[in-house]
Structure formats: C-alpha cells, structure tokens
C-alpha cells in the first residue's frame, strides 16, 4: 500500500464513502482506544491529520527492522498491511489522537504536527508574507512560493521519487533527473515531471490547476494515482501537458481530465509576423509554430484567401481577432488544447 492509497482510505472514511471493510477497520481502531462516537473532523483539518498519520507510521516502521521486512511482504500482500503490529498500533493511536487534537486542541495539534515533521526530516515552508518566496532544493530545483501557500518535502529528497506536497500556488523549475521523477501532490492531483518548469495552483477544497511553461508534464487524479507514471509513460487516465497547456479539476464537479490552452499563451518559437499578400494558411501555420498550438481549419475553404498583415506584440488571441475581423471569420476552443478557425472562404 502506498501513501496515496493510505490517504485515500482515510479520506473516504472522512467523506463517508468507505469501501466494504474499510469503515469497520477504522472504527475498530477507535473502539479499541475508547474513542468518542460520531467524532467528526472539520474539512479544513483532513489533510493535516492524514499527512501526520502517514509520516508517523513511516517513521515508526523505519525504526523497526522487522517492520521493514513486513513492509516488503505488504507489497505482495496488501491485505496484511494493517496486521503489522507497529503499523497497526501507530495508526490506531494517531487516528484517535490526531482527530481529537484537530477538533479539541488546535494549538497543541499544530505543535504535534511540527514535531512529527521534524522527527521524520520533513521540511515545511509557509509563505505568510505579501511577496513571493524563492528557495532551492538539494537537487537544485527552484520553487517560487506565492503568498498564503505552503509546501512540504523531505530535506534530502530521499527515495526513488522526489516528492513535495503543496497547498496554495507555486512555480516549479525542476532540475532534470530521468531516473528520479519529481512529484507534486495537491489535495486532488498528482503532477509528475522529469525536469521542466510549470505552475500549480491548488488551495484545499478549490479547483486545482496545473499549467506548463516548458517541457512535458504528466497529471493525474490523486485518488488511485499510478505513482510510477511519467510524462514518457503516462497513466491511462492522466494527461500529458505541453507548453502553453493547462488542466483544471474540481472535486465539486468531477469529470475526466481535459487539457486546455492557458489564458495567455506565450511565444515558444519566435516567427516573422509580417505577411505581404500571403495565403491565410501560411499565417495560421506561423501562429501554430510560434505558440505550439494546433489550429484546425478547412483548407479547401481558405485555399483562395490571401492577406497582408503585420503582427507586433499582440497576444495569440488578439492576433486571431485581427485575422478573423479581416476575413469575416471566427475561432473557438477545441478539444485537446486546440483552436478551431471557422471561415466560409474568400472570393478568388
């Protein structure tokens, strides 16, 4: 069982959507410890509780060689995971203590969370100011953290994957390492890169969004995530984003991930934007190359269309507006971050 799978089980319990056997298991832990019945947890505390539980379990199992051996068997027999004594004990204690502290003792809960993170070599950055904060990880990756945002990561970035957890907004410039993917967890999405730059906006309980500046990024839902997926071998239900593409997801209106264009695409490959009586198809091809976007149009209808135009510092959409106005045409977003250019043709 992975950390994501563990967290998903806890989240399903808190959401009231437990699978057969899960709710009974968690309630059995609570009953054995004399937990109050019908103890509820505020939505805003869910992530803190489940993250602290996993960190403590991870810490305790690392201290016990026998538990490490048991963990290797867990990978082959997931049902035996909670039969491991140390893991079962840690989960039972933290389920009761974590929930009680979050509900009854907020200040002490914060202290307990900080102590747990310190014990497991987790580092937390919280930007409480009004300006962005920029810092560099041990692998030379740079993170720009926006005001009001928090990020967590292991100080050494140890393990087969470089993993960080984000609540809020950050811009990542990830150092390339094809053998150790870089994963960003939000409450709803998992973003995986091998080395590139991208932005993530993900405040807990709100729409999560990932937008790519350069390179390739793999995005999938956090629940049931395939952590071995990469931009080279993406998850079956995930999407691969290229520069100027984004994906957004909201648990309030769940739907399959669909990639779209960012609101203001940037020029990726500079082109000459001066056209003297040139075919409109050539203008559209130049825009495609410059912004890395597919523009769909009826070549037969535009076969006789020529235009004289010069573009300067206009955005992609402003250029398309000018082109549409000159030709009596229009455009609209299409699937997979494409643009559909509509025209009824031109007179010979």
- The CATH number for 144's domain is 2.60.120.1440
Name the residue with tokens 């198809």. 281
| pLDDT > 50? residue 86 | no
List the domain range (segments joined by +) for residue 281: 274-342
- Does pLDDT of 307 surpass 90? yes
Q: Who contacts 206 (Cβ-Cβ below 8 Å, separation ≥6)?
A: 250
Same-domain pairing of 292 and 214: no
* Final residue before a domain boundary, out of 119, 137, 162: 119
- In a shared domain, residues 46 and 148: no
- Closest by alpha carbon to 284, among 323, 246, 245, 318? 323
Q: Is residue 268 part of a domain?
A: no
Q: Which residue has the higher pLDDT, 193 or 97?
A: 193
Residue 5, Cα to own-chain centre: how many angstroms? Answer: 16
Domain boundary among 101, 119, 137: 119
Is 128 a domain residue?
A: yes
> What pTM was estimated for this model as a whole?
0.68
d(CA 125, CA 145): 9
The whole-number pLDDT of residue 347 equals: 59
Give the pLDDT band (50/70/90) at residue 6: low
Q: End of a domain among 261, 285, 309?
A: 261
Looking from the CA of 343 toward its CB, the CA atoms found within 13 Å total: 29
In total, the chain counts a number of residues equal to 348
Q: Residue 199 in 3-state DSSP?
A: strand
Q: Is the same domain home to 155 and 69?
A: no
How many Å apart are CA 205 and CA 189, to the nearest integer? 12
107 has pLDDT over 50: no
Report whether 264 contacts 275 (CB < 8 A).
no
Dist CA 59 CA 5 (whole Å): 18
pLDDT tens-digit map of 221-279: 998 899 999 999 999 889 999 999 999 998 888 888 999 999 999 999 998 899 999 99
192: nearest Cα among 210, 169, 167: 210
Q: In the chain, how many domains are there?
A: 3
pLDDT of residue 189: 95
With a pLDDT cut of 70, the percent of the chain lying above it is 68
In a domain, 68, yes or no: yes
CA 71, chain centre distance (Å): 27
Band (303; pLDDT cuts 50, 70, 90): confident
- The SS3 assignment for 141 reads coil
CB of 57 within 8 A of CB of 92?
no
Residue-wise pLDDT for 133-185, tens only, equals: 999 999 999 999 999 999 999 888 888 899 999 999 999 999 999 999 999 99
> What is the pLDDT, as a whole number, of residue 97?
45
Pairing of β 142-145 and β 133-136: antiparallel
DSSP 130: S
Average pLDDT of every residue of the chain: 78
Asked if the structure places residue 103 within a domain, the reply is yes
Of 192 and 115, which is predicted with more confidence? 192
Mention every residue, 6+ apart, whose C-beta is less than 8 A from residue 46.
11, 14
User: Cα separation of 154 and 78, whole Å?
Assistant: 25
215 domain-assigned: yes
Let me know whether 108 and 128 are in one domain: no
Of 220 and 20, which is predicted with more confidence?
A: 220
Whether residue 266 lies inside any domain: the answer is: no
Contact 339, 261 (CB under 8 A): yes
pLDDT at site 150: 95
Q: How many CA atoms lie within 13 A of 316 on its CB side?
A: 30
Kindly state whether residues 49 and 137 are assigned to the same domain: no
Residues 193 and 280 in one domain: no
- For the domain that residue 310 is a member of, what is the CATH number? 3.55.50.30
Are residue 197 and residue 132 in the same domain, yes or no?
Answer: yes
- Measured in degrees and rounded to the nearest 5, phi and psi for residue 237 equal -100, 10
d(CA 29, CA 137): 38
DSSP conformation letters of 190-250: EEEESS-EEEEEE-TTS-EEEEEEES-EEEEESTT--TT--SSS--TT-EEE-TTEEEEE-
Give the residue from 276, 274, 214, 208 showing the smallest Cα distance to 247: 208
What is the helix (H) or strand (E) element at residue 26, kind and residue range? helix 22-32
């Amino acid at each position: 069982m992975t950390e994501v799978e563990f967290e998903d089980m806890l989240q399903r319990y808190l959401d009231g959507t437990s699978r057969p056997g899960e709710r009974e298991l968690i309630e059995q832990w609570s009953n054995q410890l004399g937990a109050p019945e019908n103890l509820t947890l505020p939505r805003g505390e869910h992530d803190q509780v489940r993250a602290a539980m996993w960190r403590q379990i991870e810490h305790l199992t690392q201290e016990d060689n026998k538990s490490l051996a048991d963990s290797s068997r867990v990978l082959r027999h997931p049902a035996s995971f909670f039969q491991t004594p140390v893991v079962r004990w840690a989960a039972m204690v933290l389920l009761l203590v974590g929930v009680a502290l979050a509900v009854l003792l907020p200040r002490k809960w914060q202290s307990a969370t900080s102590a747990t993170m310190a014990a497991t070599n987790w580092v937390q950055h919280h930007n409480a100011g009004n300006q962005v904060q920029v810092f560099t990880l041990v692998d030379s990756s740079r993170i720009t953290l926006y005001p009001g945002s928090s990020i967590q990561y292991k100080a050494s970035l140890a393990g087969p994957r470089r993993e960080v957890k984000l609540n809020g907004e950050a811009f990542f410039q990830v150092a390339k390492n094809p053998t150790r993917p870089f994963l960003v967890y939000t409450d709803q999405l998992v973003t995986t890169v091998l080395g590139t730059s991208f932005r993530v906006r993900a405040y807990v309980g709100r729409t999560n969004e990932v937008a790519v500046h350069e390179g390739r990024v793999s995005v999938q839902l956090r629940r049931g995530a395939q952590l071995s997926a990469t931009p080279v071998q993406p998850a079956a239900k995930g999407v691969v984003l290229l520069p100027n593409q984004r994906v957004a997801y909201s648990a309030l209106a769940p739907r399959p991930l669909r990639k779209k264009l960012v609101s203001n695409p940037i020029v990726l490959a500079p082109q000459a934007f001066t056209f003297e009586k040139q075919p409109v198809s050539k203008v559209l091809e130049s825009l495609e190359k410059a912004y890395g976007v597919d523009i769909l149009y009826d070549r037969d209808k535009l076969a006789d269309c020529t235009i004289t135009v010069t573009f300067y510092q206009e955005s992609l959409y402003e250029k398309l507006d000018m082109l549409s106005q000159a030709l009596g045409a229009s455009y609209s977003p299409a699937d997979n971050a494409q643009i559909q250019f509509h025209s009824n043709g031109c007179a010979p």
